[in-house]
Amino acid sequence: MNKPLRRVSVFCLALVLALMGWVTWLQAAKAETFKDDPKNPRVAIGKYAAPLGNILVDGKPVTGSQATSEQLKYKRTYQHGSLYAPVTGFSSQIFGSNQLENLYGDVLDGSDSRLQSPADALTRKRAKGGDVATTIDSAVQKAGYRALGGKTGAAVALDPGTGRILGMVSTPSYDPGKFAGSGSSDQKAWQAMSRDDGKPELNRALRQPLPPGSTFKLVVAAAALENGLYSSVDERTDSPDPYTLPHTSTELKNENTAAPCKDATIRTALQYSCNTVFGKMAADLGAKKVAAQAEKFGFNDDEVDTPVRAAKSVYPDDMDAAQTALSGIGQFDDQATPMQMAMVSSAIANGGELKTPQLVDKVTDGGGNTVEENEPKTYGTTMSARTAEQLRSAMGTVVDKGTGSNAKIDGLSVGGKTGTAQHGVDNSGTPYAWFVSYAQDGNGHQVAVAVMVEDGHAERNEISGNGLAAPIARSMMQAALR
């Protein structure tokens, strides 16, 4: 073979080897990447080739599948879609999926290896879709949804002893079935939702951190008792009224100027929601001690997974003494989701032990066999049992004699804390109404609830945690302990 021909042969061989190497790399190293790429049409074709498994509430499906005449043979359907959208999320042939529909997508479409029989594994046949059973109590969910009505807000109900999420409501909501398919009507429904200023796609229960207002006073009270600043909720505090913020001439005052807030006990200060008491208490403790207590409840943790991840609730750092005082009444840069405040109330109800919130009870294969079961998990110990008992007692006073009277329920022990959080420049925005609570029946069964009303369509002077949020919490607690 002459020299030029030999060079051409070697070059061609090198090209063939390079091509074989490239193909091998694509089929081996990159196969899973391409398989999971949402832009790969085969992904959607495989996912919707058969009916999907279902998401369950009270053991019954709140989702389904409907045959189509398109290339994607089945599309997702939803029962009471707006009611359960904050729980299920959506699964759309065009727009993908989110929340449980996304996190458990492999289970629902049968591609999870745990669902395959040995024969399926050998033939690479997709198994029948499995089901995801939630912890949601339909009665609690419906009670919260009806009570929120046309308001913009959210509510979360937890079982303090297990962390099971019994209700998770966000309004306004949306019907995920309206854009589950691939037609023009589905596209129009998605566009309409995206343009809606009410942001119905936002899960406010998990993803909307806002100033928690006076509900944060429970965290400061826990810090004061745990750090020995005060020995009990009935010891008088050192609290002037009004209170001048440290190193400033700015006076912190109380909404109710007739309230007995001067040197009030923690019980009385919670009963009347005394800003002066908790502002000074936070400043006396210092930001580090308040932060340490807040973080025991879950603040500043950006990995609170239910398994749907909650937005981080924030207790700020790098504050001076005056800012620390304002943070003590749930203002300055404090931010909390309704889930976070439900965790605070849940820990108090459960003797100081905080259980990790859980939305999924178990996962089953297409034959109903359990492949994953979630046992209760402890997030951490937030306070001593004595401190928790003291705070439960004081929260009971808030409902029996104080600002939380609208949460009273005959036959149940109920405790709560109201909050009306300012926002906007110079408090120009509509205040947020909060209520956090717990209830217990005669058999020791408990529920913890947090409600946030972002916009109750009420006059500014009519917005309060007791007026707007407490009745919603009461409805959910009644349903949980019915």
What CATH number is given to the structural domain containing 321?
Answer: 3.40.710.10
pLDDT band at 374 (very low <50, low <70, confident <90, very high): very high
- Identify the pLDDT of residue 425: 47
Count of domains forming the chain: 1
Q: Which of 167-181, 183-197, 453-467 has the lowest mean pLDDT?
A: 453-467
In a domain, 58, yes or no: no
For 135-202, list the strands marked E by DSSP: 152-158, 165-171
- Identify the pLDDT of residue 33: 61
In a domain, 386, yes or no: yes
Q: Which of 9-18, 146-155, 367-376, 421-430 has the lowest mean pLDDT?
A: 421-430
In a domain, 157, yes or no: no
Q: For residue 46, count CB atoms less than 10 angstroms from its CB and return exposed for 0-12, middle for 13-18, buried for 19 or more.
A: middle
Distance of alpha carbon 327 from alpha carbon 320, whole angstroms: 10
In a domain, 331, yes or no: yes
In a domain, 281, yes or no: yes
Which is catalytic among the residues 82, 214, 437, 475?
214
Instruction: Quote the crossing angle between the two packed helices 275-285 and 287-297, to the nearest 10°.
Output: 100
Position 134: which residue type?
Answer: T
Q: Which domain holds residue 242?
A: 207-480
199 CB neighbour count, 10 Å cutoff:
16
| Secondary structure class of 66 (helix, strand, coil) | strand
Write out pLDDT tens, residues 234-263.
999 999 999 999 999 999 999 999 999 999
In a domain, 18, yes or no: no
Instruction: Let me know if 327 is a catalytic residue.
Output: no
Cβ contacts of 481 within 8 Å, gap of 6 or more: 412, 439, 440, 441, 445, 446, 447
In a domain, 381, yes or no: yes
CA Rg value for the chain: 27
